[in-house]
Structure 1
Amino acid sequence: MKLAVFDCDGTLVDSQVNIIRAMRDAFARVGIPAPNDHAIRHVVGLSLVETMVTLLPDADADLHAAL
């Protein structure tokens, strides 16, 4: 065997705490309030584009890109 890949996320490691922190930081950097933790948890697993469109459906593409 040359390679073994393990997906521990959600079993051995809970990355949601770090994802929430990163999202809060990203929103703070562009000067807008971050969504609540529940909303962020709801989008974990989506692509970044889908995440931003879901969390900020009325924002323009420039804001989505900045985040």
Structure 2
Amino acid sequence: MPESHSPRLAVFDCDGTLVDSQHSIISSMFSAFDARVHPRPEAEAVRQVVGLPLREAMVRLLPDAGPDDHD
């Protein structure tokens, strides 16, 4: 009988499939904007940048801000 091996690690990519994280992402983004004293973007604007690299997302959400606000 073959020896059975239990996996030592299992990785699941469940974001968007098993877990709807949009509310948490939008809430976190609002908190970040509040902390930097920027007006909050619309929730739909945040949804449109989900999945982009963070710097690119910030450039889109704060097009008139300087590099310090994008980093």
Query: What's the TM-score bracket when you normalise by the shorter of the two chains?
Result: 0.7 to 0.9
Rg (Cα) greater in structure: 2
Higher-helix-fraction structure: 1
Identity %: 58
Structure with higher RCO (Cα < 8 A, 6+ apart): 1
Superimposed CA distance per residue, residues 10-66 of structure 1 (whole angstroms, 9 cap, x where no aligned partner): 11101110010011011011111110000000000111111101111221011112x
Q: How many residues align?
A: 65
Residue 41 of structure 1, aligned match among 29, 36, 47: 47
2:15 aligned with 1:9 = yes
Q: Which consecutive residues of structure 1, in runs of 5 or more, have no partner in the other structure?
A: none
Task: Return 5+ residue gaps in structure 2 as ranges.
Answer: 1-6
With the length of structure 2 as denominator, give the TM-score of the two structures. 0.83
Structure 1 length normalisation: TM-score? 0.87
How large is the RMSD of aligned CA atoms in angstroms? Answer: 1.0
Name the CA distance, whole Å, in 2 between partners of 1:63 and 1:13. Answer: 30
